[in-house]
Structures are given as structure tokens and as C-alpha cells.
Structure 1
Amino acid sequence: MSITAEFFRHPLLTGAIAASSPQLAEAMTSDLGLERAKVVVELGPGTGAFTSAILDRMAPGARLVAVELNAVLAGELTRRFRGRPVEVVRGSAADLGNLVPDQVDAIVSGLPWTVMSEQQQHRILDAIGGVLTDSGRFTTFAYVHAAWTPPARRFAAQLAARFAVVARGPVVWPNLPPAFVHRAALPRVRAAHPSTVHPSTAA
């Protein structure tokens, strides 16, 4: 099953009409500290274009958790990366704190932010802040043609409000459509991670 087929079947879940290019995968995974990371999370891995690039940079013994909501793509990922240090988890990125009970050093996201509601964006960003370590880094991308839309501008503003360091990379033209990378580090506000909540105080 191709990413294009899944886009037409579930456009709000898939977000992309074509798989990301190797050039975008390189931009998404560089300068993220993957070589030193112990736990890495990928959100919305799709067909695994970024997954391969992440694995190429990770140190032996490191753990990669790929969180994919689409059941078909999750199954394809499991088959494609069988025997590799990848744990494919089917679920929503908004439930990241429950899906990954460890603190995370780096998060790579291929999620379609511009098709999300404001509430959904907030929930996922809260979940990301809840699992990242104090020195953790987060990277995601946006399509150039959609950067001016209200959802994209809202997301960029939320990113700047939640991280002390935010940067936008150059346009990756060899991608369909052309895209650029958002990088973020030093979370300003950290939501409580489920593993840090004492059972007697949990709701």
C-alpha cells in the first residue's frame, strides 16, 4: 500500500500525497543529536522515509519508537523494519505519554499539522513536552505552499511559545511538495509525564 493510496483513503490521517524525499529526511535528522540519543520517537512515520534516516544515525543500543495512527501503514512499517531496532506502536501522538513510558531524547515528526484543529495541535504539543528530556530536541516539517495558512501560522506560534530555541531551515526543493524543517529545543513548559505521577495522586 503506497502513501498516495492512503492519502486518498484517509486524507486527514495521512496528510501527505507522496513519500518524503531523501533530501528532506536528511534535513529532518541532522543536528538533532540522534548519535547520542538513547530513546527516539518518530510521530507519523508513514512509509518510513524518515525512519531509515533515523536508524542510520542512531547509536547501537538506542531505542526507536514509531507511533503511527494508520493501521495499514503501521503494518507495513512492522514488516519493512522487522529485525531492526524499531518498535512500531499504533496510536495517537496525543497519547504519547502513555505509549512511551520513558523520557525521550529526540522526536521526529511527520504529522500533518495543517489539517489538525487547534485543540489537537495543543494536545500533541503538550504530549511532546511531557516526554522530552530537558535537553531534548524536536523536529518537524511544513510544506512551503501551506506556510501562510492559519493552521500553519498557529502551529509556528505555538512552537515558539513552547520552546526556548526555535529555528526554521532552508527550503528543501527536491521534495514533493517543497518543504522546510522546524527545529525546536529547550521546552519552556513541561507537562507532567505519566511515569512521574505517584499512583496516590493520579486522577
Structure 2
Amino acid sequence: MSAVSLTTQFLRRPLMTGAVAASSRRLARAMTQHIGLEEAKLVVELGPGTGVFTDAVLGLLAPDARLMAIELNPHLAERLVATRRDDRLTVVHGAAAELARAAGGPVDAVVSGLPWTVMPPDERRRTLDAVVRALTPNGRFTTFAYLHAAWTPPGRRLAADLRNRFHAVDRGPVVWPNLPPAFVHRAVSPRQ
């Protein structure tokens, strides 16, 4: 398979690929800290793209844990399968809102690289509701937002949607070395 870059996929499918460049390792580290991945049995990653967050998650998971990565873009899903050799990883080509069905059991943590601020509002709400339904009562959800979009109406709606669906939500510090700079939303204990 030829090399597939996130930039190429963005140019070919801008509505399916929300980023122009892959996230940095520093953002991946911020996304995976303090969410209990070391004790998790089942983690779901939404929108793994080129696998930067996937690698960070796998680096923290126990040998008997599982990571299910759900990717809508078929080229990115194929690339992830072709480039990752870890029995704990299952890559699913499909929609993020189907995560509960795909996971097949209670999910301890969801790590999301989805482009929430460019997603149609109904799809964003449907996907967040699916995350809440799939998580265990003490489940954790982490996603990121680009700094420049945080104060836009879609950015504010995402923050409000998280507060409405989780008992505790916090925002991490800005990861300046990411392109563009970003910060992490961490949400704990979904409201059932």
C-alpha cells in the first residue's frame, strides 16, 4: 500500500478527515495521561487517523487489555492495520456512533481524535450519547480541541455538551508544540 498522509486524506475528504496534520506525540501524551489506561480492560479510540494516539494508548495498556480503534476513513483504517502489529489492537472501519456495538462490552475509557467542531450538531450529540452509553459508571473520556477554535460557537457547544454528559470535566494546559496548538478535555463518570 502506498504511503497515506493525513494531509492527503484531508485534501481528498475534508469532511471525513478533520485535521490537516497528524497530532504531535506531546498531544498524544497529554491525551493518555490521568485516564487510568494502565488498569483498563477495554479502551475505544475514535478517529485514530495515522495512529499517534493509538501508539500512546498501546504503550500504557496492560498485556491482557484490548484497544478497539474505530476509523471512518477506509484508507486510514487500512493503514493502521498494515502498520500496527499488536494483538491487543482491533481496527474497525465504521462510524464512531456505533462504538457500543463494535466494542461488545463495557468500555473503561474512550480516547477521541474526532473533529468535534466541524461535525454536524446532530452527529456530534449522537456520538457523545453513544460514548456515554458505552462507558462504565466510572469511565473516562478524553478528546482535544484546537486552541483557535475553543471560543467559537462549535467549540463552546462541545464544552457544554461534555458538562451535560459527565459529572466531572476539566481542561488541560495548552500543548503548544502541536500544529495547531491544542488542549485536552478530560471527562469522568458519565451521566447515565
Shorter-normalised TM range: over 0.9
Match of 2:169 in 1: 166
1:23 partner letter = R
Does 1:87 find its partner at 2:90?
yes
Trace 1:40-189 onto structure 2 (pairs within 5 A): 40-188=43-191
1:81 partner letter = R
Q: How far apart in 2 are the matches of 1:173 and 1:84?
A: 33
Structure 1's consecutive aligned runs of 4 or more residues displaced over 6 angstroms after TM superposition are none
2:64 partner letter = G
Spell out, residue by residue over 1:56-86, the C-alpha distance to the aligned partner (whole angstroms, 9 max, x if none): 0001110000000000000000011134421
Structure 2 residue matching 1:33: 3-state secondary structure: coil
Match of 2:5 in 1: 2
Structure 2 residue matching 1:72: 3-state secondary structure: helix
Q: How far apart in 2 are the matches of 1:106 and 1:178?
A: 24
Structure 2 residue matching 1:35: 3-state secondary structure: coil
How far is 1:23 from its partner? 0.4
Q: Is the Cα contact below 8 Å between 2:40 and 2:108 reproduced in 1?
A: yes
Spell out, residue by residue over 1:175-194, the C-alpha distance to the aligned partner (whole angstroms, 9 max, x if none): 00000000000111x2xxxx
Q: How far apart in 2 are the matches of 1:24 and 1:97?
A: 26
Q: How far apart in 2 are the matches of 1:15 and 1:33?
A: 27
How far is 1:99 from its partner? 1.4
Q: Is the Cα contact below 8 Å between 2:44 and 2:99 reproduced in 1?
A: no
Give 1 or 2 for the bigger CA radius of gyration. Answer: 1
Q: How far apart in 2 are the matches of 1:8 and 1:149?
A: 23
Tell me the TM-score normalised to structure 1 length: 0.91
1:16 partner letter = A
Match of 1:15 in 2: 18
RMSD across aligned positions (CA): 0.8
Match of 1:194 in 2: none
Spell out, residue by residue over 1:116-138, the C-alpha distance to the aligned partner (whole angstroms, 9 max, x if none): 11111110011001110001100
How far is 1:167 from its partner? 0.1
Structure 2 residue matching 1:14: 3-state secondary structure: coil
Tell me the TM-score normalised to structure 2 length: 0.97
Structure 1 unpaired stretches of 5+ = 191-203
